Structure 1
Amino acid sequence: MRRAGAAAVAFVFALMLLTPSQAQQYSPPHDKPGPAVETVKVKAYAEEIAPQALERGDMDIYLYSMRVSRLAALERDPDITMVRAPSLLLSLILNPAPDQRGFNPFSLKEVRQAFQYLVNRDFVVRELYRGLAAPMTSHLTPYDYDYALFFQQILDAGIRYDPEQANRLITNALTGAGAVKRDGKWYYGDRPVTIKFIIRTEDERREIGDLVASELEKTGFTVERIYLPFAQAVARVYTTDPQEFQWHVYTEGWGRGALEKYDTSSVNQFCSPWLGNMPGWQELGFWQYSNQLLDDVGQKIFKGQYSGRDERDRLYLQALRECMSESVRVWVAVVLQSTPLAKNMAGITEDLAAGARGLWTLREAHLPGKDVLNVGHLWVWTPRSVWNPVGGFGDVYSADLWRAVSDPSIARHPFTGLPIPFRARYSVETAGPTSTLAVPADAFTWDAAAKAWRNVPSGTRAVSKVVFDYSLYTSSKWHHGIPITMADVLYRIYQTYDLAYDDVKSRIEFAIAFTSRPILETFKGFRILDQNRLEVYVDYWNFEPDYIAEYADVFGGGMPWELLAVCDDLVFTRRLATYSDTAAARFRVDQLNLVLREHVSLVRLSLNDFISKTQFPANIFTVNGKSYETREGALTRYRALLSWVNTNNLAVVSNGPYYLAVFDPASQYAELRAYRDPSYPFKPGKWYFGAVDKPRLQKAEGFVVVGSDSKIRLNTAGRGTISVSYVVKDLATGLLVDSGVGRAVGGVFEISLPASKTSQLSPGFLELTIVVFSDEVAQAFSSTERVEVRRTAATETRPIPTQTTLVQTPAEQPQQLPLGLIIAVAGILAVAIVVFILRRR
């Protein structure tokens, strides 16, 4: 058997297997509450000087993904090690809006489909990333757990680099639309068909942009190459009406923040318009890309509206095919992000999606004998790095720090990809998918019109019930010393509902309100059981109960209620800022940012007003005649927050192992300091997971004899029960020979091809595509092999070399969102956090 052209993929996985991992026996540096070190100092380092800073010891870890050309010297340094994960996804988004005054070629679906054939993914992987990447033709990477289910359909789509095919399709589409080609250039009327191509400058995306722009020019388009860094590019693409045509193509980057086993977020984030991440961004007054099929199917997947795993998979396949056919977002590659760090650093968990950038690293990482961790990043602040509790944390630079400042209720396990309790414990009861539970008459929801909590209507029913025990929050304090209480939970629920359904607020933050409502419609009622426990009723079901709990969590930690109230005051009452970037552009004010001096002053203004007027929103805290906050308690909170703001000159308060002590945008510097309050529930070692034995192919051997029963033997390894999905095609004809899925027995999986199938073959080669996966590790391993077809069996059998052709799974950037996954409070709902696994880079 011989290797196919996927050697780069094999190289990627081989590197992942060889990455030095931290010893599973981890000795925490101390037993005090909080993180492993006292101080985390975060500085911006240009990529050009970052390697030298690491070698000098000025920096202990560099979070930004360096160009692979700069990694070679670090690889040879014995004092530096690498943690790798496929956490950077690259795509090209196309503007599909029709041009009423001219001609936008990407408004034609056929041109978008043709664009797929202009992207030379193999060149990008081989030459630009030197094998530290794998090609992508859909939003599923070859590392994703779901890839094992759907890879055959992805391959069957036939997306490849084929500029001749692209040119034929473009010619047919443009000619049919009335364009003409003169002297090798396309014209519509008397104007050249021009494409504004926004190309990022910080990394390999510059070369990718130039590569694709050249292909577009070869087909006859006039390309205006517009080179922009992160902040300017994001503003130009994501905050403008597509019909302004400030852009036609953009080189997107997305960073994973956490692992996802059964995807509900990416298919919606990258395909379905309803969630606000497709052109138009669901902003009021903008032209909107629409696709009812993707919205309907995407919401069914997101809301758990299926009868079981099989129906979920059918829905997912339907969405996957439609998304690939629409080709609004064209995928390029998933990059094996390499995070260099000091060789003697302890406490690193190798998150299969986020690598060393996951939730766990800054909590546990330390250098023996030192209490300071020096962290480098490309930026600490950009104009798009926004710290606010509703529309912020949408980029890696803010999200990477916020993960260390705030504790989520629920997190994703770094190896299984399933939700796990973090600071909330929970129990799940469900009648789904075929029945419902009665919702008690004293359950309540927020009435935005009446500005009060109302009991649910008689006879209300829900599919599932989750009881959250928030005692790990409520037995502790916020960073400014105020106890966390059920009042914080109530305000968060109120804020979410009121923003979505209040007439005025929903017009101001239209995109957030619009995308929140489909989710809020599934929440049927809440009950406060005691000072620690909240009961939530939802019309949501999943075959994994932990996903039900994750969906139902409406708190998510985040920020104290008085800070949320101040933010609401600035956004909705005073109208001095907005939560979202699109609303900021529409109203020509700044997006609220709690780390900027001017906005901190606004927080002081609002707080002083609250104090002088003894402001107290009693209606928000009164449920069924019982009050969960007092005016005196509110004043105490306002004064504590004002004192914190005056002391730190920052308005960021949360509940995690660190607090944000210094943030200097001009100097590109931030400092996190350990939160050592005795009430903080976690100590070093609690969130250390180390590394895991990933599923993989060790060896493949065998050949096929024409007209004879033949077998191909695959030797596999990895933690858990290992299974293999495979597709065998005739390389000469492209016809399917065999496909299947099954479990490996004793580490061995055999593919049997009976004589009835081999008799239809001719001597030559078969193409064998394999995906190896495990029930305990949410990372797939993909390999493409060539299997020799012989006329007779009289040739020596040769095993495949162990440096296999493969790909293994795990994160612009989400998410964190949760995208990635994840930041609690990264979107309007903590429940929607799963959507933000991936964040902009």
Structure 2
Amino acid sequence: MLQKRSMLVLGLLVVMGLVLSACGAATTEAPATSAPVVTEAPTAGPTAVPPTTRTGGWLDEIDYSQIDAQSAITQIGAGAVDLFSYGLASNKLADIKSANLCYSSSYGLYYDFLFNPAVFKDANVLNPFTDRKIREAMNWLVDRNYINQEIFAGGALPKFTPLTTQLVDYTNVIDTARGLESYYAYNPDKAKEVVNTEMTALGATLGADGKWQYKGKPVTLTFLIRNDGDGTRLPQGEYFAKQLESVGFTVTLEEKKSSELSPIWIGSDPTEGQWSLYTAGWASNGLNRDERTIFQEMYLPDSPQGIPLFTQNVPDPAFQQVGDDLANGKFTTLQERRDLLVKALPLALQDSLQVWTVDLQSFSPYNCKLQVSADVGAGVETTKMAPFNLRIKGQEGGAVKSATTATLFTDPWNPVNGSNWVSSAFVQNGTSSGAFMPDPYTGLSWPFRAEKADVTAQTGLPVATNLNWVTLSTADKIDVPADAWVDWDAKTQKFITAGEKSPNGVTAKVKIVVTYPADMFQKVKWHDGSNLSVADFVMQMIMTFDPGKKDSAIYDEDVAPNLDAFLTQFKGVQITSTDPLVITTYSDNVYADAELDASVVGSWWPQYGYGEAPWQSIAIGNLADANKELAWGTGKADRNKVEWTSFIGGPSLAILSKYLDQAVTDKTIPYSATLSQYITADEAVARYNALKAWYTARGHFWDGTGPYYLASVDLNAGSAVVKNNSAYPDLADRWSAFGEAPLANAALDGPAQVKIGSEAVFNVAVTKKNGDPYPSSDIKQVKFLLYNDKGETVYVGEGVPSGEGTFTLTVPADVASKLTAGAGRIEAAAVLIPVAIPAFTSLEYVVAP
């Protein structure tokens, strides 16, 4: 699945354009601490391209299909498909190379065991995972190094925390992270001890057969295990099932495809007890240079994931507070931000709603005739830019056959709260545009439909600019205008102003002014032929609030906690001009990069988290939801016993079509108390008729503004076709400058022996992929850590530049005096400026008296 999921996109998550064998002998080796070295396959770098006059996408069409990942390499070699976008695990890299295929590599996909934390309705059935200490103990029961070596051929990174092991936030708190990795290292005896204590306290008894019983029946865990995808979840699940049995649980395995398991772990009420744990997988929806929201997203009941299981978790109040503070930007300095991360990490391990196993380096193979862009933190499938740059080298037009794993239509597509699967996102990304485009190397953003941004931050806040399209200024105080919209009244269907809600005035930490081009509403069209309008933006603003309000006709209790969290840091929004469109946003949620303040907090583009949509599509979906015939979200659909809204197939289409006809007849202006300022009755009818013509022609309601449009979809066959949008205003080569990411390798050199009490000097060389020195001016810092024979961090230092791409790492004599005889290790991380993937390296030595 995508890492992030929410109806409330402003300031809470980046939805620019966050996924889902028999046990061998146990090992006690320390977890790997550096990424595998990857030798590139046949080059697939960017090629010189002459200027083009083509608009839309490079291709005439892209044909999407589902195949078994195990056959991907063979099918590409045979010409049956051209690209496998999902990505394969590191254990398939040698096969990709042997087949002489090109490939992209990326980080951003990670696996874990996700627990159902709910108290079951049946009082005779015990769910041990309601107990946080039992969940925490599962960390000691998982040998991550065994999983890495035996399942991923040593090509993954053992993962203990929610922070991505190869990204910047992890590097910033690496001393804390490494300490936790040492504390939670594989220790089955400790796990069993905790389980015994807690299960007894819960009222369970251990039978003579070594199995736990509760009220006379075995404590049985229903373990949902994915047997599709890249094929690695099945052996992970089977391994962990045996580990669970070793501490007395009875385990029932449900080994099925994602489409069969999703209705259970996502769609069912967790209190029904249909499942106990699941082999989860998540993928970032782009390179994430700021992971501070990850704790709220992956653990807390106000998670923006929109999945009922999260609302059932009861975290430590301290964890709830620190997770929300991070997500809502409640810090004023980088040190305060770091301190919050340091507090959150151990609390996350103590909660362990999810027990992480590995961070993957994934490889997406493709025919070398293609030119493919990939995000270094998310790969091909989840990066916004990939469909924009996908082409046949040296050719305009043509068709590409893109295949993925069997998750393309696992869940219904709807833009408000629909499918969160990466395979769906890959198709959807090509059908949409947006205010900003994520940079696939740095995680920053570039203007897409937006023209510029002006950011004002409160004096003293740690905000900086990196790119010249955004201006940054400071102010001692930022007052929110009295007429700014700060909240929503679902009864009157009007926005509440700052003056109405806070007569004494409101201030904000940051003010973002986003200006759109003067001709945007003339040039940008929805696929149904309608021109983009101010009303599309206002509808997105309304939908940020309305579903979470109890007085709303479309109220959804699953999103209400997230709205409550959002309102703690949202300070207001104004449309200060409609020609050109200028939107000013006030917030206490501040990013260190002004580019992210603009793109995450300030855009208000009609992108609802899971796809773009014109206001008329949202309107008919709201009518169906309000009349309890459909529901935007899975939890509400389950509670109301109705269909989860789908814009592309199934029973939803007839219901949506019915309400479309009704909207035409009634000349419906949704939320008329507000939107009638931006829509006339005649304009509303014209919009509905355009959507009706689109539905008649295409058989679905998926309506975007991207370079491709959804031409056809076959849910039964698991296939879709997108075709070039000739009315698209941009040239096909707009994003072609993004080719191969400037990643680096690092190597340590130094003494094989360190004497206690004596200074030790090591050297690290940072190089490009071709072996040339990496420019020192492009290296932000080299941070290093020293470990003792127990794997504990004893010193954190910073390297000193000593030449182009080289740094000297000095261990002071007073630090060396605290070492004890035995094994030792030094680890270095080079933090790069052009790309947000640090280069890691480590070296072992002997500590001698």
Structure 2, unmatched stretches of 5+, are: 1-27, 462-475, 768-773
Change (3 A) 1:544 1:65: closer
Say if 1:716 and 1:722, in contact at 8 Å, map to a contact too. no
Equivalent residue in structure 2 for 1:606, among 651, 659, 675? 659
Alpha-carbon separation, structure 1, partners of 2:82 and 2:746? 34
Alpha-carbon separation, structure 2, partners of 1:303 and 1:109? 25
**Aligned residue in 2 for 1:391:** 417
- The SS at the match of 1:117 is helix
**TM-superposed deviation, 1:215:** 1.2
Change (3 A) 1:723 1:68: closer
**TM-superposed deviation, 1:391:** 0.3
Alpha-carbon separation, structure 1, partners of 2:818 and 2:650? 74
**Aligned residue in 2 for 1:827:** none
**TM-superposed deviation, 1:145:** 1.0
**Aligned residue in 2 for 1:139:** 162
**TM-superposed deviation, 1:744:** 3.9
Change (3 A) 1:177 1:392: closer
Q: RMSD of the alignment, in Å?
A: 2.7
Alpha-carbon separation, structure 2, partners of 1:155 and 1:705? 24
**TM-superposed deviation, 1:314:** 0.8
Alpha-carbon separation, structure 2, partners of 1:72 and 1:700? 28
Equivalent residue in structure 1 for 2:268, among 226, 240, 262? 240
Matched, 1:568 2:614: no
**Aligned residue in 1 for 2:391:** 366
Matched, 1:167 2:200: no
**TM-superposed deviation, 1:782:** 3.1
**Aligned residue in 1 for 2:715:** 665
Change (3 A) 1:462 1:23: same
The 10-residue stretch of structure 1 (172-181 or 27-36) with the greater mean CA deviation from structure 2: 172-181
1:306 is aligned with what amino acid? F
Alpha-carbon separation, structure 2, partners of 1:466 and 1:737? 43
**Aligned residue in 1 for 2:176:** 153
Alpha-carbon separation, structure 2, partners of 1:515 and 1:537? 18
**Aligned residue in 2 for 1:322:** 347
Alpha-carbon separation, structure 1, partners of 2:798 and 2:318? 29
1:552 is aligned with what amino acid? G
Alpha-carbon separation, structure 2, partners of 1:708 and 1:463? 49
Change (3 A) 1:68 1:465: closer
Change (3 A) 1:760 1:49: closer
Alpha-carbon separation, structure 2, partners of 1:603 and 1:279? 24
**Aligned residue in 1 for 2:764:** 714
- The SS at the match of 1:680 is coil
**Aligned residue in 1 for 2:547:** 499
Alpha-carbon separation, structure 2, partners of 1:763 and 1:444? 65
> C-alpha offsets along residues 437-487 of structure 1, whole Å, 9 cap, x if unaligned?
223344345432222345431534333222222337423211111111111
Alpha-carbon separation, structure 1, partners of 2:91 and 2:493? 58
> C-alpha offsets along residues 180-225 of structure 1, whole Å, 9 cap, x if unaligned?
3323223334332322211111121111111011111122221122
Equivalent residue in structure 1 for 2:739, among 690, 695, 706? 690
Alpha-carbon separation, structure 2, partners of 1:420 and 1:583? 36
Equivalent residue in structure 1 for 2:575, among 495, 509, 527? 527
Alpha-carbon separation, structure 2, partners of 1:453 and 1:98? 38
Give TM-score, length-normalised by structure 2: 0.86
**Aligned residue in 2 for 1:813:** none
Equivalent residue in structure 2 for 1:194, among 209, 213, 220? 220
1:169 is aligned with what amino acid? V
Alpha-carbon separation, structure 2, partners of 1:290 and 1:241? 19
Matched, 1:218 2:246: yes
Give TM-score, length-normalised by structure 1: 0.86
**TM-superposed deviation, 1:660:** 0.4
Matched, 1:128 2:156: no
Equivalent residue in structure 2 for 1:87, among 89, 108, 111? 108
Alpha-carbon separation, structure 1, partners of 2:398 and 2:782? 46
**Aligned residue in 1 for 2:333:** 308
Say if 1:766 and 1:789, in contact at 8 Å, map to a contact too. yes
Change (3 A) 1:775 1:272: farther
**Aligned residue in 1 for 2:24:** none
**Aligned residue in 1 for 2:700:** 650
- 1:258-407 matches, within 5 Å, as 258-275=286-303, 277=305, 280-281=308-309, 287-355=312-380, 357-368=382-393, 369=395, 371-379=398-406, 381-382=408-409, 384-407=410-433
State the aligned residue count. Answer: 774
**TM-superposed deviation, 1:39:** 0.6
Alpha-carbon separation, structure 2, partners of 1:404 and 1:279? 26
1:586 is aligned with what amino acid? R
**TM-superposed deviation, 1:537:** 2.4
> C-alpha offsets along residues 84-107 of structure 1, whole Å, 9 cap, x if unaligned?
112321011123334543433323
**TM-superposed deviation, 1:429:** 1.9
Say if 1:9 and 1:131, in contact at 8 Å, map to a contact too. no
Say if 1:724 and 1:749, in contact at 8 Å, map to a contact too. yes
- The SS at the match of 1:411 is strand
2:798 is aligned with what amino acid? V
Equivalent residue in structure 1 for 2:597, among 541, 548, 553? 548
> C-alpha offsets along residues 115-161 of structure 1, whole Å, 9 cap, x if unaligned?
11111211111111112211101111321211112222122121112
Structure 1, unmatched stretches of 5+, are: 792-841
**Aligned residue in 2 for 1:839:** none
Change (3 A) 1:164 1:454: closer
Change (3 A) 1:755 1:69: closer
Matched, 1:59 2:81: yes
Matched, 1:464 2:510: yes
**TM-superposed deviation, 1:280:** 4.7
> C-alpha offsets along residues 328-348 of structure 1, whole Å, 9 cap, x if unaligned?
210000121110011121253
**TM-superposed deviation, 1:52:** 2.4
Matched, 1:778 2:836: yes
Matched, 1:437 2:510: no
The 10-residue stretch of structure 1 (636-645 or 511-520) with the greater mean CA deviation from structure 2: 511-520
> C-alpha offsets along residues 373-411 of structure 1, whole Å, 9 cap, x if unaligned?
1111123643x3321121013112221111111112223
> C-alpha offsets along residues 410-429 of structure 1, whole Å, 9 cap, x if unaligned?
23211111233222232212
**TM-superposed deviation, 1:67:** 5.6
Alpha-carbon separation, structure 1, partners of 2:352 and 2:548? 31
Equivalent residue in structure 1 for 2:826, among 768, 771, 774? 768
Say if 1:499 and 1:513, in contact at 8 Å, map to a contact too. yes
- The SS at the match of 1:14 is coil
The 10-residue stretch of structure 1 (614-623 or 387-396) with the greater mean CA deviation from structure 2: 614-623
Equivalent residue in structure 1 for 2:63, among 37, 41, 58? 41
**Aligned residue in 2 for 1:758:** 816
Alpha-carbon separation, structure 2, partners of 1:76 and 1:114? 42
Alpha-carbon separation, structure 1, partners of 2:134 and 2:834? 42
1:569 is aligned with what amino acid? L
The 10-residue stretch of structure 1 (450-459 or 273-282) with the greater mean CA deviation from structure 2: 273-282
Change (3 A) 1:26 1:495: same
The 10-residue stretch of structure 1 (521-530 or 142-151) with the greater mean CA deviation from structure 2: 521-530
The 10-residue stretch of structure 1 (496-505 or 581-590) with the greater mean CA deviation from structure 2: 496-505
**Aligned residue in 1 for 2:782:** 724
